Amino acid sequence: MDGSSSVDILISEVGPRDGLQSISTILDADRKCQWIQAEAAAGVREIEVGSFVSPKLLPQLADTAEVVAFARQIPGLTVAVLVPNLRGALGALAAGAHKLTLPLSVSETHSLKNVNRTHLQMLDEARGIAAAIRELPATDRPKFEGGLSTAFGCTLEGQISERKVVELAVALIEAGCDEVGLSDTTGYGNPRQVKALTQAIWREIGEERLTGIHLHNTRGQGLANVMAALDVGLTTIDASLGGMGGCPFAPGASGNIVTEDLVYLLEAMGLRTGIDLNQLLAVRRKVDQWLPAKDMHGFVAHAGLPRGFSSPTLTPGAGNPATAQ
C-alpha cells in the first residue's frame, strides 16, 4: 500500500460498505464517490468501497463496480471490497480492486444465514478465488484476505471455540488467502479475547498473516478492544465514519467503532494515522446531511477537539473545536 510506511497504525474505513449495507436509504454512486474522495483527501489510505454481492440482496451496493473504477483513480488509496463468493470475486477482479475480503463466519449457523454456505463450501470458494487471482499477472494481483467473522461470539450460536477460529484461519491460508483478519461481527469481544485469539493464530500461521481486526461497539467494548489490539501488536484497524454499520444477518449487531474517535485516540497517544481529523469531521458532516434518517455515533464530533490539540499528523494548535452540524 502506498505510503503505509509513514503511519504507525493503518485505519481502514469501511463505512461505504459496512456502514451502508444495513440501511434502507440508497446513497447514489456520485455521493459515494464524493465521500471516498473526501476521506482520501483527509489522509485515509484504505477504504472498503463496497461489496460484489447480488443487488437483489443489497441494492445499496449495486453500483460497487462503478465506485471501484472511480476510487482506483485516487493516488495512494488502497481500494478494498467484500466478496461473498467466487462470482463476486470475479466481478471485483474485473473492476480492479486492490484488496478482496472473503467473509468466513466461524459460526456455521451465521455463515448459512449470511452467505448461504457451509465452512467447506466457503473454503472451496476461497480456493477458486485464489486460483483466479493466480491467473493474473503478478503486478495486477490484489491482496486476498479471509475474514474470520463472528470470531468472538455469535448471536445465533453463542460462544465460539478458540480452537475453531484457529483451525479456520489455518484452512483459509491453505486455501490460498494471503492473510486473515479477525472480525467481532456481533460486538461480543473483550480485550482478553483479542490478545488470546491473535496470539493463538500467530502461533499457527505467523504474525505477517494476521495484522488487522474489525471491531464493533455493540456493547461498548470497541475502543477497549482497540487498546488490546495495539498492545498485542496488530497494525490495521477497521472503523466506520460515524460508527455506521452492522451485519444485517446477525441480530442486534449494530455499530462499528467510530473512525473519528479512533483517529483521535491514536493521535492523542502519539501514534501516526496520517489522517487530518478536522478534515475527517467535515466529511462526517457532509455524509450526515446525505443520510438524515441515520443516527451517527461518536464523541469527538460532538465534543470537539481539545484546545491546542496536536498530534503526529496535525500541526500544533490546528485542532480547534469542530462540532457536528
Nearest in space to 75 (alpha carbons), one of 11, 3, 141: 3
Largest CA distance in the chain: 54
- Give phi and psi for 105, each to the nearest 5: -75, 125
Per the structure block, which three cell numbers stand in for 275? 489522517
154 is catalytic: no
Per the structure block, which three cell numbers stand in for 182? 479477525
Residues forming a β-bridge with 238 = 12, 214
d(CA 140, CA 98): 8
Segment (H or E) for 198: helix 191-205
Per the structure block, which three cell numbers stand in for 57? 440482496
User: Could you give the 3-state DSSP secondary structure of residue 80?
Assistant: strand
Residue 149 makes CB contacts below 8 A (sequence gap 6+) with 103, 104, 105, 106, 107, 110, 111, 114, 183, 185, 247
Per the structure block, which three cell numbers stand in for 280? 475527517
Active site (catalytic) residues: 247
